Amino acid sequence: MTTQLPLALRWPRRQRFEHFHAGENAVAVEAVGAAAVDAGAPWVFVSGPLGSGRTHLLVAACQAAIDAGRSAQYLPLGGLRGTRAAAIRGMAGSDLLAIDDLDAVAGDPDAEHALFDTFNSYKADGCTLLFAANVAPAALELGLPDLRSRLGSLTQAVLKPLGDVERRQVLRDHAAGRAIELDDTVLDWLFAHHPRDLGALLDLLDTLDRATLAAQRRVTVPFLKNLLKPD
């Protein structure tokens, strides 16, 4: 249920700080980056809608911590099949713990108390906790007031998703790094027929990279239609 970095094959290498396109989120990136490498830096609560880069930042923080000689763990609460309380209590012994999908514990008393205890123990040990959720602590439907208070006391980093113009440029830049050309016609079709969040678009780019190499073809709208047609 837990994942400890580095496990290079578990996440795309693009989930690093150098691959995070900050846009209006430069202050948030700086705060998370500081917490990753400095045990004395303030803890950070990252919030933002789907596709805003929350998971990217947490994974990047874990890798940065490891690069700086710290141990790091990443815990995505949203995808757990077992009890979240047990998973939270099982995370120990790392210099940095990044807890994603924190909204998943709201309304789960056991998980909330486990998180509260973990917060206190990490603080006492001089280690670092990072959190991410789709909303800020005040908007989480937590039943434990002391937990909400502690989370609300952290540095708040609210992420704003990139606009379409920025997403297009990011996609062009990543494609160019793979010698793939995406013209305006192709991008128009993609943005009209494919999810626009950056993670989904970059996952698609991985698929395009493999497909164009196999077919030895450039990316065109007919090529995309054939590649993405339902089975």
* End-to-end Cα separation, the chain, in angstroms: 32
> Considering the entire predicted model, what is its pTM?
0.78
- Which token pair is 37? 């490498």
pLDDT at res. 100: 95
pLDDT at res. 57: 92
HSE, CB side, 13 Å, CA atoms: give it for residue 20. 28
Q: How many residues does the chain have?
A: 231
Which residues in the chain come in under a pLDDT of 70?
1-14, 81-82, 230-231
pLDDT at res. 231: 52
pLDDT at res. 8: 39
Q: How far apart are CA 6 and CA 113, in angstroms?
A: 29
Tens of pLDDT along 29-76? 999 999 999 999 999 999 998 878 898 899 999 999 999 999 999 999
pLDDT at res. 32: 96
**DSSP assignment string, the chain:** --EES--TTTS-TT-SGGG---GGGHHHHHHHHHHHH-TTSPPEEEE--TTSSHHHHHHHHHHHHHHTT--EEEEEGGG-SS-HHHHHHT--S-SEEEEE-GGGGTT-HHHHHHHHHHHHHHHHHT-EEEEEESS-GGGS--S-HHHHHHHHTSEEEE--PPPHHHHHHHHHHHHHTTT----HHHHHHHHHHS--SHHHHHHHHHHHHHHHHHHT----HHHHHHHHS--
What percentage of residues in the chain have a pLDDT greater than 70?
Answer: 92
Is residue 159 within 8 A of residue 128, CB to CB? The reply is no
Q: 151-162: buried (b, 16+ CB within 10 Å) or exposed (e) per residue? A: beebbbbebebb
pLDDT at res. 9: 35
Tens of pLDDT along 141-155? 999 999 999 999 999
